[in-house]
Each structure stands twice: as C-alpha cells, then as structure tokens.
Structure 1
Amino acid sequence: YKLVHGQGNFGSLAGLPAAAPRYTEARLSNLAADLLADLDRETVDFIDNYDGKYREPLVLPCRVPNLLVNGSDGIAVGMATEIPPHNLKEVCESLVRLIDEPDITLDGLMEQRNGVWGVRGPDFPTGGLIGGSEAVKAAYRNRRGRITLRARCEVVEGKRAQIIIREVPFQVTRNRLAEQIGELVKDERIKGIDEVRDESSPRMGEPVRIVVYLKKDVDPHLVLNQLYEYSSLQKTVSIILLALVDGRPRELTLKEMMEEFLKHRVQVVRRRTEYLLREAKRRGHVLEGQLIAISSLDEVIRICRNSPDRNEAKHQLIAMEVAAPVLRRAIGDDPFAALQRELGVADVYHMTEQQAEAVVRLQLGQLAALERDEIFKEYSGLREQIVGYERLLSDEKNIRDAIRAELTELRDKYGDERKTGFGDFEGRTNVEDLIHEEDVVVSISHGGYIKRMPPTTFRTQHRGGKGVQGGAREEDFIEHFFVASTHAYMLCFTNRGQCHWLKVYDIPEGGRTSGGRSIANVLTLGEEEKIEGVIPVRHFEEDAYLLIATKNGLVKKTALTEYSRPRQGGVIGIKLDEGDSLIDVALVRAGDEVVLSTRRGMAIRFSEADARPMGRATMGVRGINLVGDDAVIGMVVADPEGQLLTVCENGYGKRTPFGPNTEKVGEEVDGEASGEEPEPAGEEAEAPPAEGEEAAAPRSWMRYRRQRRGGKGVKDIRTTERNGPVVGVVPVRDSDDLMLITLQGMVTRIKASEIRVTGRNTQGVRVITPNEGDKLASVAKVAREEVAGAAGTATE
C-alpha cells in the first residue's frame, strides 16, 4: 500500500532502475495522511532530532496498522525482523474481531466468518501463491517461521506446450527471472525448453507475462517443477515477527502484535480526546465571557468607554458582578448548571482574565444580533462535544468502540482483494516431481556394482545369439537385472536377511559398457554382504506381502507395509540360521501361488496362504524339503496363463506351463519325482503323446500341480552333464522379452516365444551359446506390460 505517490519513472517489475531525482516528483498518499492524522493533537511524544534543532515524533499516531499492512524487514543492533505485508481488509477485520472478542484464538483471527476472511496469511503486491496455510499459521503462533512463495503459472498443453508465468514472487524481477531460466537451459540443468519470451504489457493490463516455449513432446509439468526448484519461480520467505514494544525488541505472535497496535490506538485516541476536551473547554470558556458581555452590553460599553486603557478595562470587567439570573440567560440552563457544579452556587459571578481579554477584543460588528446567535450556536455545539469527550473518556470500552469504527472506515475506504493466493504445496518440491518417470534397466553385478540404463540400450536378438556386452568388470558378472520405474522404490534384500531402501532415481546412470558404481557408495552394506533379491515397488499397498525364500528351503511372508519406513543401515528382513542365506524375494497378494526351484532341478508349487503372515524379525517356515546338498536357487509367482522358464548354466532351458489349480492339494508319493523317465540328450525336447494317449492320460507332465508347503516337489528339468545345474527361473508369456547374462557379462536379449514349450522332466533346448569357458549366470524378464505400465508390481 503506497505511502508516497510517484510521478515519473520509479522503477518497474522488469528490473529497470528509477530515473534520476531531477526527473521525478513525489507526494504523500491518502493512506500516509491517515498515518499522520492527529499528530498535531498531542497524541504522541516528541523528542529532539539528532542535532537538537527540531522535534520529531517518537512514533506516529497510525490509524492504519502499517507494520502489518506494509511489513518491515531489516537488521539493527544484531536483531533481524522479517514482517511480510498483509491485506488491509483482512487485517482490519481481524482487529475488529479482537476488539469484540479479547479472548479470541489465532484460528478465530484467521478464519472466514459470514463470507469475510480474517488474516489468511501474507499478501504480497506481486501476487503469487503461498504453499499451504499450516506453515503460515505456525509462523503466526511461534513468532517466526518460513513459508514457500511460488509464481502463478499456467500450463498450455499441446505437442509444443507452453508455460505462461503471470505473477512472480515478491521482489523478483522479470528480467532476472528470464535470465535465470536461460542460464539453467545453457547449463543443461533443465532440458526441454526451446525459448523464453517476456511478453509483458503493463499498458494492456498484463504487467507480467513470461512465456516459456517447450520442445515437442516435453512434459510441461515436469519442466515447471524443475523451474520451481532451480529458479526464482519459487522462493522461501522468512517470517520473524519482531518489533519494539516500549522501547525493547520483542518477538510477538500475530495476536500479540494486534493487541499492541490496539493498545497504541487506545492511548492515541485517549490523548487525542483529552486534547480536544481541553481545547473545547478553553474555547467554551471564552465564548461564555463573550455571551456574558452581550447580555450586559450597556455595562460593558460603559466600562470600556470610561477606562483609560485596555488593562484598566480588563480589571474593571473582572470586578464587574454578573448576577446569576443574567448568567443563566446568557449561557443557558444546562451550561449554567454545569458551571454551578464547577464553581459552586452563588448569587453573583465574575469574569476570568481570559474572558475579560476576549471581551475587550470584541469588535462592534460582533455585537449584532446575528453574530450573537452564531456565538451562542458555537457555544452550544462545544458543550455537546465536551459531553461526548467526557463520555468517551469515562470507559475504555467507548474508546475501543471508536477504534472499531475507525477500522471499519479504513477497511471500506482502502480495502482491496487479496493478490496472493494459496496453493496445495508445501516447502521444497518433491524430488520425484523433478524427475521424468520412465522405465529403466537396473543391473547389479556379483561384485557389487550398480547402474541404471534405458531399455533401448539392448537390441532384441534371435535365440542362440552371442549377445552384447552388459558392462560387467573383468572377473565379474551381472547378478540382478530388472526393469523398474524411476519413481519406484527398490527394496534390496541381502544374503544376510537385511532389507535396504533405495529410490531408483538415486541409482547412478551409466552406459551399456560402463561398470557402474560400487553399491557401497549407494547403500550401507556389511563385509561380505551382497544383494540377493530386489523388489521394485511403486506404492506400499496394505494388501500386498513379501515372500522371502532361503537357501535351505525356508519361506516367510510379511506385510509389505512393514518395509515402508527406511532406516540407516537397513532393517531386518528375515532371521537366518547359521549357514543359511536369503535367496530370493517375491511380491504376493491373496490368491497367488509360488514355485520354489532348486539347483538340482526340483520344483514345488504351493499357495501363499500356506505361509501365515509374520513379523520382519522372524525365521519363517519350511517351504520345500531338500534332499542331500540341494539348495533353493529361485522363487517365482505362478502365472496360470504363462509358463515357467528354467535355464541351466550350460545355456539350455525350456518353458513349461504353470497350469491351472485344478488338482486337489496333497503330498506327492515318494517316488513321484524320480519315477519320471528323462528324455534322451539332444537339442530337441521329448515329443508329446499320441492323440489317443493324450485323451486318456492326464498331462501332469505339462504343468506344476499345487502341493502343500514343505513337500519334496516334482522334477522340473533334468540337470544332466549337458545342461548343468539350474541357475535361474522366471515366469514368462509369449510376448515377453528375456535378458540372459553370462558369468563374463555377456547379455543376450531374446523373445520368450522363441523358446519351445515342453513338459517337466525334460532337458529343453539351447537358449544361449556361451563363449568357451563361459557359463550362463542368470536370466531376467523384460515384460512389455511392465515397460508400458511403470512398475506398479514387483519385477525381477
């Protein structure tokens, strides 16, 4: 709210400086006049100026709550104040409420009543948006705080989207903002901006219009969030409600600040009224003498005519006796009664020296009847004012009512609508809002190196191809390889049963041939601790569970929400016996079934419901009964419409349908697993049964029937000398792509449909041709549904 009206160039939002003083003029505004109102009525104390030549007011009378309305900031004697500007209409409304309700709460001062808001928060002249109201309320309550101020922007969607900036934060200039955006583009901190234009036109009613033109198919909301984070499009405003109270600096709440203003106004109004009362009584006293002289005109004229000089005339007028009835007729009944109460009841009265001086100064023209009536009219008006002043001073409530009326008048006279609005954002921009959500390939090597790459890095090859280098270092190989959204969380489970929490966007980006960064620089891992299972999770859903499998065949089911609160150094995922280690983790929901696969080619399928939910720091229950030195190498969630892909270390593998859950659950007979005859070694899988046999015999060899948890399972694949032991299993469908990784780091991407579907207890076909001395290390699935749908479920 301007206190000075300027003529000429006083600067602009564009950041242009003011013109030289010889080109500018200034005058006080009407609002400034209200700051100075009653200054000449002894309402405030005056002190000497710096050299003692003049006197200046200690404070201004201030009808307007200027400290809140226009704010103040600066540093003095080691103390800083940061009081932001506020809306005058809202401040006046809150002050009126405080007068009416001295015990009102902060919420009462700020809330909306009958469609009228109290102080909602700071109101900056350049507009913009304040992030939420809780930070504002906390600052008003705690006497200090921080709020986030953001520019008001409009996003125009399209192939070449635009961001239109219509209001800027307080004390941010258009030119500087445009320069900042240009520097961010030049430094490649923000990508996707094509051009920035300042199209502001104050004369056309658009003081701020900065248009940011984006490149084709760039997400405007992502760029806008980056602008909020890295430029002056968003800034933090400090609030320190510090002011001088009785000459001492004090931090005040909003209510305390308003109370101090009202105390000041009560004192100003009281001193002003006392001054006006004194002046009214002084003037009334003079008019009483003039009215007495007019009522005894002949005697007054005689005294003045016969007196040798003015002083003698004054003395004789003072000595003149004025009978009580004469005085009553001169000034009226009520003033006469008041005079009697003041001077006492008497038969005669005398003029005072002031009255006598006023009489001798009377001009002959003032003795006319018309002038006499004017004097009496003025006297009567003064008597009414005196009564009003005395009534006002008799009770502080009357003074507060007068202040209330003044505030209402100010609100109606100068009040305007808020310029600064409120937005649904708090503090700093969420990191995720600055990062484009896309699917990336994440790889973790056996040696503990991690990186992320775009999926386009790997081209699709045909079955049996040699592959391309996936970036593992010498004598290292890729151990975990999956697709996840950049906004997903990575739950990293180690061989020791610990769970670490990592954001995918925090993983360093690397090229196909780069080795990545040591995971020790990303996660806090112990000595000889390595990642065994990784679950990308977009949201921690209450109906989801994590099923953990160990090398010794144990499984444990825990609610996913148990892992939603990360800690430095991780949390316990499962409690392990000595010699056991965590092998794999799967995300399951009600109705899911899982398949545990072993190194010797055994597999067991059971319902997730067979494993009751447990806490994080528990050991779990038996999942599969292992024979000899066999060990669990993997666990997958069964897909009734898909197949289980099993691969062995010599590059052979096969797909077998999971099959529906149609058989009755029961234990297998001891000889079932070993009673199935192997197919002859060779490239081709065993032939299907003849048509007649197919109709008569159940095709249990073509699927994995459900069993009870803890059984020995069924034969999945023959681990012959040609095949070698099983190294990996994944659930697939025909549309899936697969990543095959060797110990030497060679990566092959093939279609799942290129691998023949065969039954269990077969040797499969060649899937990859490793180099001499190389072995297949693991297999990972790149599912099209996950690439398009952004990792809402676990992928491995």
Structure 2
Amino acid sequence: MITDDDRIIKVNIEEEMKSSYIDYSMSVIVSRALPDVRDGFKPVHRRILYDMMELGITHDKPTRKSARVVGDVLGKYHPHGDSSVYGALVRLAQPWNMRYTLVEGQGNFGSMDGDSAAAMRYTEARLSPVGEAMMQDIEKETVDMDRNFDNTRDEPSVMPTRIPNFLVNGASGIAVGMATNVPTHNLREVIDGCVAYIDNPDITIDELMHYIKAPDFPTGGYIMGMQGVRSAYETGRGRIIMRAKTDIESGPQHDTIVVSELPYGLNKEELVKFIGQLAADKRIEGISNVNDESDKDGMRIVIDVKRDFNANVVLNKLFKMTALQTSFAVNCIALVHDHAHRAGRPQLLTLKDCIKHFIEHRHDVVIRRTQYDLRKAQERAHILEGLIIASDNIDEVVRLIRASKTPQAAIEALKERFGLDDVQAKAIVDMRLAQLTNIQQEKLHEEYEEIERRIAYYEQILSDDELCRKVMKDELIEVKEKYGDDRRTEICLSSTEFNPEDFYADDEVVITISHLGYIKRTPLNEFRAQGRGGVGSKGGSTRDSDFIEYIYHATMHNTMLFFTAKGRCYWLKVYELPEGAKNAKGRAIQNMLNIDPDDSINACLHIRKLGDADFCQSHFVMFCTKQGIIKKTCLSEYSRPRANGVNAINIREDDKVVSVVLTNGSDEIIIANRNGRAIRFNENTVRAMGRTATGVRGMRLDDADPTDEVIGMICINDPEKETVLVVSEKGKGKRSVVEDYRVTNRGGKGVKTLNITEDTGKVVAIKAVTEEEDLMIINKSGITIRLRMDEISVQGRATQGNKLIDLKKRNDVISSVCLVPADDEEEALEQDSENTDDSADENVDDMTTTANNSDEEASTNEE
C-alpha cells in the first residue's frame, strides 16, 4: 500500500526555485526570444516557413487560409498558443516591419496606424520568393534535423539560407535577463560586405562599412549622423538617430510641412494625434491643422503652419518634441552555435561577427550539399556502369533474364555472370524494353560522362577551399541580383544635436531696458511708422519711479554683449531675453545676469558672428565714458562668453560707460556731449588696448559746466551715405551731413552739433543714420514713436532741428532712441496718414493701429 509520504518528495524551496527558473530562462532564451545568428529566425518563424514549404504553398501557387497554416504549425511543430503563431506569420508579411517580406499576405494584415490584422479565418498567405530562398537546398541534408515536440517528425534546427537574414530583416525580442534589437539592412550592401569578407577574412569593420554603410529601414526616412552606427557595428550596441523625411511646401496663404516617410517602428495614427495635441495645448505654436492624407500611393501627413510663423522653426520643434525624430537602440545579441553548445548560447555581436557566422554557416551548407550531390552522383554512376555493361551485352542479358524463373534468380544470374552487385543487377532487371534501343544506349554513355564530370567537380569543391569560396560568392551575387533593391533610408552626416537657434526664427526685435533694470524683447512689427511730431504709443509698462532708459534693435540669433556702468561685460542670446508686448514691463535683468546690485547696464552690442574667429580678429570694441575717455579693444577679447562676466574697461570712481560701438579698425568716430558739441576723429589715432586698460582722452568737456557729460558715440562707416542725427531731450531733432563735422585730433572740445535753447533742452542722443532706417524714440513715460528717416530734414550743424515727438507733458523728456530697418509698410501708412485729421495728434494708440483711425477709435484706444 502506497502512503502519502511515499508520494511526496521533500526538496529545498530555494534550490528548487533556482533550478526551475534557470530551466525556464534557458528555454525562453534558446527556444523563444532570441534569433539564431545563422538564419535570423526564432523557432516559431522557422517552423512557419518550413510548414508552408511542406504544404506546397510557394509563391507560384494560390494562397491558402492562414488558419490552415497556423493549425498545421501548431499540430506538427509549435505547441503554443495560436495567436502567437498567427502574430508571427502576420509580421513576416508586413512590408513596414520586414525589409524583405518572407510571406505574401492576402487580406487585411494590419497597417502602420497600428491596426491589427483580420482574424486568421479571413486572411490567406503563401511563401514569398525571398522566403523560399531561405529554404533552398534543405532537401539535400544541408542542415541538422531535430525531432519535433511529440517525436513524430523532423524539423530543421536552422535554415540553409542564402540570404543573410539576421542583418537584412533584423530582429527584436525580450528574453530573461537580456534582449535583442537588430536593425534591418539593404540586401545588396550586406551581400557586398559578405563577398568582401570571403575575399579577406581579416577585413576591418571600417572596411566593411565601405559596403554596409548603415541600416536601411523599410519605412525609409533619414539616419542622422554615423556615431551611433559606428558604435553599433564596432561593439554590438549603439543608438542610431532616425528622422522622418519632410518637405516644406510654400503656399499663397501659409506654408505646409509634408511628412512622406517615418522612422522605423512608428505608429502613424498616434503620431498625428500627438502633434494635434501639442498644437492644441500651445506647447508648439504655429500649427493650425494636422491631417493624414495617406493613401495607396504613399504616406502623406500634412501639417499646416500659421501664416506668421517660420515653418523651419516649427519643424525643428516637431523633431525635438515628437517621434518625427527618434532613436533605434541597437543591442545585437543572438544565439551562436558551436560543437560544444549545439543549442546555442547568446552573444553580443559586432558587424563582422554577424557576417563571419553567416559565412561559416554558408560554408557548412555548401560542403554538406556538395557531399550530398557527390554521393548521389556516385550512386548514379555506379548504376550507369551496370546499365552500360548490360547494354553492351544486351543479347546475353536478355537470355539470362528469360532463362530465370524469378526476378531474384535473374538478379543472381546477372551478378554471377558480369560481376555486378545487387543495386546494379536490380537496375538492369527493372530496365524498360525501350532502353534497349540504340538511342537510349547512347544516352546512357552521355549521362555517364556527364556524371563523371560532376563527380570530379564536386570532389574539387571539397578539396579546393578557393573553389568552395567562389561557389559561395557566385550564389550570393545571384541572390543580390535577383532580390536586391536600392537603399530606402538616406544617410545624413550632419549633427543631430539641435542648436537653440533652430527653435527661433531670426526675426527682428526691439530690446528695451528700464531705469530700474527691467529688460524685454518685443517683435519689431509691433511698432509701425508714424508721422513726425506725433505723440507715439505706449512702449513700456513701468513703475511711477521707472522709465525706459535704453532701446536697441537686434535679431533673435544675435549675441548681446551687455556693458555695465562699471565696465563689466556680460553675454546673452537675444532669444534668451524675456519676450513681452510693447507695453509689458519685462523681467529684472539682475535675475538673468550676475550684475552687482549697485551696477547697471549702460550699453549693448549685438553681434551675429561672435563665433567667427576671423571676424572677431578684424573688428574692435570702442568704449566711451561719461568723462570723455575712450578705449579700443579687439572683439576677440569678448568672444568667449562667461557666466560671471569679465572686466571690459577700467573705470574711474567718478566715471561710467555711456556708449560702446563696433568698428572695423579704420572707421571715423564722433563723440557728442550734453551741451551740444561733437568731435570727429579717425579711429586709427586710438591704439588697441587690453580689456583691463583705462583708455585715453577722446573729448574734453565744458570746464565751466560741471553737469556736462558725454551722451553718446557713433561710428561712421560711409560718410557719403550716412548722416548725423541729433535728438534733444525735449523731442527736437535734425540730421546733418558728416562733412559738416571737420576731422580733428581726439581730445578736443569739438564743434557745435545742436543749437541748445530752452525749447530744445540738452542733447540726449547722437546716431549715424541712412535713408534705409527708421528712428524709434521713447520718453520717460514709456511712449514710443517710430519715424521714417526721410521725414527728418537735413539741416545745418548748428541749428535747433524740428519737433520729432509731441511730449505733451511739460516735465517729460526723451529717454532713449535707436535705429531699426525701414518699415515695409511705410508707403501704405503714408498714404493712410493723408486721410487722417488733426485729431490724430491726440491719439495714444497701439502701434499696430494705422494712421487713418477715426477720432472715436483713437479716444477709445487712449482710454
């Protein structure tokens, strides 16, 4: 009698868990998740193709129901779920997953939108020509056969493939403790690399990359940069950057971004939804609509860009924030077989390793096939020898057979008479009478001679390794010519790293800095030209004790060099400045730059080519202080931005920086003071100094007026084209020709540049201007006006000038002026202004409002 104790085996749970989990892990690794490096297949794929070949569902036969194939695979070879087998079959037929499909599908096999395939009872399938090539010569004992799960039939342990499928179609899978992810490649390139390896087994990976340049994905697109590719090929691991193929189509109303190819493995429907959500959430501005217009002719995702937005900037943001640019993490792990590990063991493989194992497999296949063909040829030759003997002695053979009572007796008689063996004698007995004719006898001799030649050829292949390699190369080249195609994925060698400038259009902006240190940038198109003498519009929201002190013009990609009153230099890109409407307050500059609390920004330069060494070496920064001290330093001294800034000029205690200009080394300089005098001298009279130098005397101030100080400095590049603009604190201004200012030595008091009266007030600004520029003026109340330069008359050097802006308040004065490019709409605005009545002088409206607004609209805007 058997007791319960006899049926229970007591084991240590820890040891049992270890043992069982190791067994499970090895089963997943070897029999499920990882592909074989030789044919690139996991067991399920290998079983599907082999079963379809057994069923005769080749590419030249009608398709059969997928359910028929799945059921046959389950019953014969793969005792797992039917959904896993059907899923594997479907993937082999999807052209967006497989670079070269191995199965031809009929029906709904899914889509790039993530749609699943129809049920297996609806779809049909058959082998593709490439799929058949994977099993060519399998009937010639070219690979080892294993018993199936119920030990009733054989299945191949590997395919005798002529196609380097592991590299060509790639692989992906998650095992236990490891995973694999191999990209697809172009068949022509891989075979060229294989042929090169056969010719030179010592070939380097660099040399292999002359043939196999990079992965080639079925969905096309771009590979950005070769660093990840090289890492993957040299180490087996790498990160390959993929980018969608896009075009920008210009239309009459707006630009359109068209996506025609996507990165590998991307779900198109999810991408379109995500882009639409980004646009709706304002995370990417400038997108008005996203549509998927894909059809049978190809993929087409259309992204409409709003009219006032730069399509290239929007596209760069899409690359940064969506899967239009993504990465493929290569982890080239596969099962490698040797005599010690017949089941295979996982290894991390380089590009050369992959080719090496495939070529070794092909060598084994060719040798085993040749041995099989040789054996069959020798067997046939042996039979032919007997048949030829019989044909040469046909009468005696017929007599012996007729005299025999049974077929076995005839066989024995033939063996005894002609010295034949059983196989030969049986072949003679089985010979048909038609073969006794003279023609058939001649064919026997011809066949025997052909067999002898083939036997010699097979023996030569087996004995001559050079000939064996030639056979391998010829077969690979045949596959290349038959199934190869052009590369789909283009290689772009440019960097994948985005420059911050890629996300900002190089638009023109106006930068304002208030007396209390608030800074902002405002699009230039918010400021429109007005007539001379207008009251302007609100250009900055400030506190009662604050006012706009400095105003500059720049573009978004410029580098701003900020110079403080104490002579320090700081750097910021224009796009790093806070953006705000023209009536916004801005952001405290102390929060952006490491400026001392008792210091302030007094001058700025905007430089586009700060990274250009030649430009920096050939240009200079000219400083001017309140006390008339000037200093010239090479721009290269300020070309390496530092977070904490650098000393730009040594300033005395009672002095401060008031103006900084960029020169080319041979320009002319004009310095002006508050009391209306200006001095002109050549830049060559000032030698270049280091950053920490103090400088030399540029202009001598009025000794009788302790309040006199330098208010600005200008650089004259083209005296014939430029004029000198002078603006007073009470809104008066005029232009004078450069030649009105005679050239003198630096250090003098200069000549009169504005006739100072109670109506004009002191001089606040001097600028070198051209007809292609507009003037922007801002007062301490934050009111800004933009004037066309041709509206400011050219007058004598010592005149008072004309009213440029109506300050309205008696205690209001001009705070700052700057020059901007001429307004493209100024002609239309001029035409509109002719239709405006005198009440426009009282209008303090938004700058985008045209000059022909009615009195009622102007009043409303002022409120």
TM-score tier after normalising by the smaller chain length: 0.7 to 0.9
- Partner residue, 2:600: 530
Cα distance in structure 1, aligned partners of 2:628 and 2:769? 23
For residue 406 of structure 1, report the CA deviation from its aligned partner. 0.8
1:752-780: CA deviations, max 9, x gaps? 67777665677777766768796646322
**Does the CA contact (< 8 Å) of 1:552 and 1:626 recur in 2?**
yes
Cα distance in structure 2, aligned partners of 1:288 and 1:645? 115
- Partner residue, 2:249: 155
* SS of residue matched to 2:159: coil
For residue 275 of structure 1, report the CA deviation from its aligned partner. 3.6
* Residue 132 (structure 2) pairs with residue 17 (structure 1): no
* Residue 744 (structure 2) pairs with residue 707 (structure 1): yes
TM-aligned CA distance change 1:466 to 1:234, over 3 Å: closer
Using structure 2 for the length normalisation, give the TM-score. 0.70
**Does the CA contact (< 8 Å) of 2:770 and 2:789 recur in 1?**
yes
* Residue 142 (structure 2) pairs with residue 43 (structure 1): yes
**Does the CA contact (< 8 Å) of 1:654 and 1:757 recur in 2?**
no
- Aligned pairs for 1:203-602 (under 5 A) are 206-213=297-304, 220-246=311-337, 247=344, 249-285=346-382, 355-356=421-422, 359-360=425-426, 362-365=428-431, 369=436, 377-422=446-491, 426-427=495-496, 430-458=499-527, 460=530, 462-463=532-533, 465=535, 468=538, 470-540=540-610, 542=615, 543-551=618-626, 553-560=628-635, 563-570=638-645, 573-574=648-649, 581-598=656-673, 602=677
- Aligned pairs for 1:597-608 (under 5 A) are 597-598=672-673, 602-608=677-683
- Partner residue, 2:766: 729
* SS of residue matched to 2:557: coil
- The code of the aligned residue for 1:363 comes to V
Match of 2:168 among 64, 69, 74: 69
Cα distance in structure 1, aligned partners of 2:252 and 2:539? 40
1:487-523: CA deviations, max 9, x gaps? 3332223345443332322322212332212334444
**Does the CA contact (< 8 Å) of 1:499 and 1:570 recur in 2?**
yes
* Residue 239 (structure 2) pairs with residue 145 (structure 1): yes
Cα distance in structure 2, aligned partners of 1:617 and 1:288? 106
For residue 781 of structure 1, report the CA deviation from its aligned partner. 2.0
* SS of residue matched to 1:22: coil
Match of 1:30 among 99, 113, 129: 129
Cα distance in structure 1, aligned partners of 2:354 and 2:596? 56
1:592-645: CA deviations, max 9, x gaps? 212233456553322223334456565555434567776544221236354444
TM-aligned CA distance change 1:466 to 1:312, over 3 Å: closer
State the aligned residue count.
Answer: 705
* SS of residue matched to 2:217: coil
Cα distance in structure 2, aligned partners of 1:533 and 1:713? 23
* SS of residue matched to 1:119: coil
**Does the CA contact (< 8 Å) of 2:256 and 2:303 recur in 1?**
yes
- The code of the aligned residue for 2:743 comes to R
Match of 1:657 among 736, 745, 749: 736
- Partner residue, 1:637: 715
- Partner residue, 1:186: 280
- The code of the aligned residue for 1:276 comes to D
For residue 63 of structure 1, report the CA deviation from its aligned partner. 0.7
* SS of residue matched to 1:502: strand
Cα distance in structure 2, aligned partners of 1:570 and 1:252? 50
Cα distance in structure 2, aligned partners of 1:395 and 1:587? 78
For residue 24 of structure 1, report the CA deviation from its aligned partner. 0.7
For residue 189 of structure 1, report the CA deviation from its aligned partner. 4.3
**Coordinate RMSD, CA, aligned:** 4.4
TM-aligned CA distance change 1:67 to 1:245, over 3 Å: same
1:667-699: CA deviations, max 9, x gaps? xxxxxxxxxxxxxxxxxxxxxxxxxxxxxxxxx
- Partner residue, 1:674: none
Cα distance in structure 1, aligned partners of 2:696 and 2:351? 61
TM-aligned CA distance change 1:505 to 1:218, over 3 Å: closer
**Does the CA contact (< 8 Å) of 1:603 and 1:714 recur in 2?**
yes
Cα distance in structure 1, aligned partners of 2:666 and 2:823? 21
Cα distance in structure 1, aligned partners of 2:430 and 2:144? 42
- List runs of 5+ in structure 1 lacking aligned partners: 112-117, 323-349, 661-702, 790-796
**Does the CA contact (< 8 Å) of 2:383 and 2:427 recur in 1?**
no
**Does the CA contact (< 8 Å) of 1:145 and 1:240 recur in 2?**
no
For residue 551 of structure 1, report the CA deviation from its aligned partner. 4.5
Cα distance in structure 1, aligned partners of 2:650 and 2:405? 122
- The code of the aligned residue for 1:183 comes to Q
For residue 6 of structure 1, report the CA deviation from its aligned partner. 0.7
- The code of the aligned residue for 2:489 comes to T
**Does the CA contact (< 8 Å) of 2:727 and 2:734 recur in 1?**
no
- Aligned pairs for 1:71-150 (under 5 A) are 71-102=170-201, 109=208, 118-131=211-224, 136=229, 140=233, 143=236, 144-150=238-244
* SS of residue matched to 1:23: coil
Cα distance in structure 1, aligned partners of 2:747 and 2:461? 93
- Partner residue, 1:171: 265
TM-aligned CA distance change 1:636 to 1:48, over 3 Å: farther
Of 363-372 and 528-537, deviating more is 363-372
For residue 4 of structure 1, report the CA deviation from its aligned partner. 0.7
For residue 553 of structure 1, report the CA deviation from its aligned partner. 4.2
- The code of the aligned residue for 1:492 comes to F
* SS of residue matched to 1:583: strand
Question: Identity rate of aligned residues, in percent?
Answer: 40
**Does the CA contact (< 8 Å) of 1:154 and 1:166 recur in 2?**
no
Cα distance in structure 2, aligned partners of 1:289 and 1:269? 30
Cα distance in structure 2, aligned partners of 1:56 and 1:138? 37
Cα distance in structure 1, aligned partners of 2:353 and 2:565? 60
TM-aligned CA distance change 1:272 to 1:19, over 3 Å: same
**Does the CA contact (< 8 Å) of 1:495 and 1:529 recur in 2?**
yes
TM-aligned CA distance change 1:158 to 1:108, over 3 Å: farther
- The code of the aligned residue for 2:219 comes to T
TM-aligned CA distance change 1:432 to 1:374, over 3 Å: same
Structure of greater relative contact order (alpha carbons < 8 Å, 6+ residues apart): 1
TM-aligned CA distance change 1:398 to 1:620, over 3 Å: farther
**Does the CA contact (< 8 Å) of 1:602 and 1:714 recur in 2?**
yes
TM-aligned CA distance change 1:487 to 1:90, over 3 Å: same
* SS of residue matched to 2:431: helix
* SS of residue matched to 1:20: coil
TM-aligned CA distance change 1:156 to 1:467, over 3 Å: closer
**Does the CA contact (< 8 Å) of 2:232 and 2:330 recur in 1?**
yes
**Does the CA contact (< 8 Å) of 2:219 and 2:262 recur in 1?**
yes
**Does the CA contact (< 8 Å) of 1:228 and 1:429 recur in 2?**
no
